[in-house]
Structure 1
């Protein structure tokens, strides 16, 4: 049986968490074909960052990725759905977003139909969109042509919650749910959000992500320095500036390391230089983009007292799962589905609009009281261990076709 996975940019970049999912799924399928659907032309000709991570029976379909374009015309169903969406949230930006998704979805649909219509009559194929976006839209269209296959999509955070999406809404979710077989939300909160707004409770289920067991427990600092790690893209929604501003008021020894880069990197480094360089008790480093293994090596070999995210919106971040797999306490804002993974048992759940004072208080709390690291790891093992979660996911797919 073949599993066709529509990704964003993986195996080029992003979606590093597929490195944790594919090794499990490949045990259940004869072949897995990867088709990234958001690559720019210049990116396609680059060497994929994760190509060496792929199991032997996972194939990157570069030929199909090249074919994905914006040149196709809309079909009647998408025209109707597009205009149904417009009155609810019309603006020039919203209008462009609607038609961008329509063109992209129709293009992907045509490519998939051409490649897999005949093949699906000769072998069983499961089509899996990693995001609830135009990949899932294309599968909803494909359902009319390919009857004997399974069409499914994951749903995370920005592709579920309207308030988390650029422009404040996610178009075509109703269209997707009408055509697709199943949607697997990574959180219960996401599942509830979708069913309350769109119905289809029989189609929407929870299937959590997960990360491997690193086999070690990170140890806290024992030299009086409070060591903080954060990990995210440096974009406005992540609100990393709040961490910098909070550190500027800290009066005890602190070391902060941020893993991740992005368009705000220069601006945030400038802010950190301005607010933190004059403080003798604060050391900081914004490392920019680094391979995921660098982060794991840090967790394996360096003391970390707390992991923090101050994001304005999230699904359930894999970065939190990774920190917790080492037993590291987590401070996080109560946005998206974060309350499903962060509580006072494993860290501190901040208010969704946490201010600097609240963040400082959370640092002091963790510094003074700490958390039982074996308890944190036990919680992670029970809910976010990749082997168990992705095995269950694969078994559900095979039972459903």
Structure 2
């Protein structure tokens, strides 16, 4: 353990943590490891929610108000004449993807970057000596950190999914990836797929990057897995277009004879439409039972899953980083059905701890997966559950993963200071 006086300083930039629920499952364990080796300042961009997670004593909290207010005109002028904005616009033109919507995104992100950089700089100026500027997401907060960076400072950034991948869906555009990221000293990707994607689509960072899986806590189950003929599946996500809950419903509507129980946890966005769609597609099917539990706190949802017998967690998203829900399922010995997107194929091994589907799978393929599993022996099903648990312990054990990540961060910072 490093003494309080000898610890160096780390500024952790989050969207919400430790306020609200958004990042609590990601950071509640990691902050313990960070605080063991650093004196930590957390800069949260959440000013409305109560503090949800208690933090160690050597953590100082700051809350940034993201409203631009009366600064908007000055920020607008500073942004459109900034070298970064002009460089990004020319990059868009060079890729033949110029559009009004992209220019708006580019301008908005630049304005937010400049606004946040001013706030972050005030915090940085009150800290003596080199610091680690750690942005949990690769967006304007990270870009601001690269602006604020002083001599000897070390900028590190995590990259997930929504802050990394550009998609045709909704014309998702990731601005400034090749502008501000040049000043980032270390990139931590949550999947190998993410690292490969970044190097292919933006620029090569293999000499200053690592893959560091996130992790989840151990979850004890309160039931004994029984030998039966039905299948019980659970999905756990917001109801958004990219989560494709409708594809689960379409598949269930194609199943005949096999008894299936489906539970969905999560709401928002398209929730009402999906509930109505399920009524239309599944009414009259005596072999299909389903329930929508709506939105639940993360710990309540996990308690529910650990107290009810499920054969699979199912996730048929069109895009993912590395889903925390899959890690949670593995920790409860629940195999996973997922699509070959993001980092999912790195951890879901067909016929070992689950099954994989092509991203553009047909309903018949998922039906085949479910019927194949239903015909397995009880012993084989137990084996898959044991494999799921082993995957969690070897790959997604939060205490181990975050301790290793923090030690890597300390080592990289020390090497950087020596140079």
- 1:193 maps to which residue? 197
Question: CA 1:117–1:13 in structure 2 vs 1: closer, same or farther (change >3 Å)?
Answer: same
Deviations 1:240-270 (A, max 9, x none): 1011111122232221111111210000000
- Asked whether the equivalents of residues 158 and 164 of structure 1 are also in contact (C-alpha less than 8 Å), the reply is no
Q: Is 2:19 the counterpart of 1:26?
A: no
CA distance in 2, matches of 1:68, 1:127: 23
Question: CA 1:285–1:23 in structure 2 vs 1: closer, same or farther (change >3 Å)?
Answer: farther
Q: Is 2:405 the counterpart of 1:393?
A: yes
| CA deviation after TM superposition for structure 1 residue 221, in Å | 4.4
Task: After superposing the two structures, state which structure 1 stretch, 268-277 or 215-224, moved more.
Answer: 215-224
What's the Cα RMSD here?
2.2
- Asked whether the equivalents of residues 88 and 179 of structure 2 are also in contact (C-alpha less than 8 Å), the reply is no
Q: Is 2:187 the counterpart of 1:183?
A: yes
CA distance in 2, matches of 1:351, 1:205: 27
- 1:374 maps to which residue? 386
| CA deviation after TM superposition for structure 1 residue 213, in Å | 1.7
Map 1:308-327 → 2, pairs under 5 A = 308-327=314-333
**Count of residues paired in the alignment:** 388
CA distance in 2, matches of 1:264, 1:304: 25
- Asked whether the equivalents of residues 34 and 58 of structure 1 are also in contact (C-alpha less than 8 Å), the reply is no
- 2:136 maps to which residue? 130
CA distance in 2, matches of 1:142, 1:244: 49
| CA deviation after TM superposition for structure 1 residue 58, in Å | 3.7
- 2:339 maps to which residue? 333
Q: Give the secondary structure class of the aligned counterpart of 2:206.
A: coil
Deviations 1:120-161 (A, max 9, x none): xx1442211111111111112122xx1222111100112222
| TM-score, normalising length: structure 2 | 0.86
CA distance in 1, matches of 2:56, 2:372: 43
- 1:351 maps to which residue? 358
5+ residue gaps, structure 2, are 1-7, 414-419
- Asked whether the equivalents of residues 234 and 265 of structure 1 are also in contact (C-alpha less than 8 Å), the reply is yes
| TM-score, normalising length: structure 1 | 0.90
Deviations 1:348-382 (A, max 9, x none): 01011112111111111222223521222112211
| CA deviation after TM superposition for structure 1 residue 166, in Å | 4.5
CA distance in 1, matches of 2:169, 2:133: 24
Question: CA 1:351–1:232 in structure 2 vs 1: closer, same or farther (change >3 Å)?
Answer: same
CA distance in 2, matches of 1:52, 1:156: 22
CA distance in 1, matches of 2:223, 2:105: 44
- 1:255 maps to which residue? 261
CA distance in 1, matches of 2:363, 2:41: 46
Larger-Rg structure: 2
- 1:96 maps to which residue? 104
Q: Decide which of 292, 297, 302 is 1:291's aligned counterpart.
A: 297
Q: Is 2:218 the counterpart of 1:213?
A: yes
- 2:417 maps to which residue? none
| CA deviation after TM superposition for structure 1 residue 56, in Å | 4.0
- 2:160 maps to which residue? 156
Structure 1 segments (4+ residues) deviating >6 Å? 67-70
Q: Is 2:281 the counterpart of 1:265?
A: no
CA distance in 2, matches of 1:248, 1:54: 47
- 2:174 maps to which residue? 170
- Asked whether the equivalents of residues 14 and 42 of structure 2 are also in contact (C-alpha less than 8 Å), the reply is no
Question: CA 1:400–1:96 in structure 2 vs 1: closer, same or farther (change >3 Å)?
Answer: same
- 2:146 maps to which residue? 140
| CA deviation after TM superposition for structure 1 residue 191, in Å | 1.0
CA distance in 2, matches of 1:271, 1:20: 38
Q: Give the secondary structure class of the aligned counterpart of 2:233.
A: strand
Task: After superposing the two structures, state which structure 1 stretch, 9-18 or 346-355, moved more.
Answer: 9-18
